[in-house]
Amino acid sequence: MFLDDGHPTAIFHPCGGVRVSGISVTELTTTSASNSDPGLGWGIANVGSREGHSVAQIRLLATPPGWELQTTKPGTLLTAFSVDRTYIVAADTADPTAGNDSSVAFTLRDLRSLTDGEVWAVPKPFAQPQAMTRDEFRRHAAASC
């Protein structure tokens, strides 16, 4: 994750040429986990052919060509990021055997703290996110394949 012209942007490193088929963002809430009221969320899916519409980077809350916004319950669509909230971004692939999936929790404060060339990422699946260079991100991502 990083800010691209002020917009939260995710980069991906899928294993073995597998394509990202879906991306979701969920706003974490302080309500009880047993609460059935879903928090705000945003999700898109690559509904085209597996050969087309691949992404390696995407500006969150923007739908790239060939992708579609996923249906959400009325009133639950995430349309903007707030400075006082935490978000989790996750990517899905068409091949569940293609390495370890990982999600990243972030705040706008985390992304604003990055220096030029840094990203907010996890060094290995299920680890705590941290600032790292893009080269470090690529090395860690490749090692998780």
List pLDDT tens digits, range 69-102: 987 788 899 999 999 999 999 988 877 665 556 7
pLDDT of residue 136: 96
Residues sharing a CB contact under 8 Å with residue 8, sequence separation 6 or more, in sequence order: 1, 59, 60, 61, 81, 87, 89, 106, 108, 111
Q: Where are the domains of the chain?
A: 2-113
Q: Is this structure's pTM higher than 0.75? A: yes
What is the residue-averaged pLDDT of the chain?
A: 86
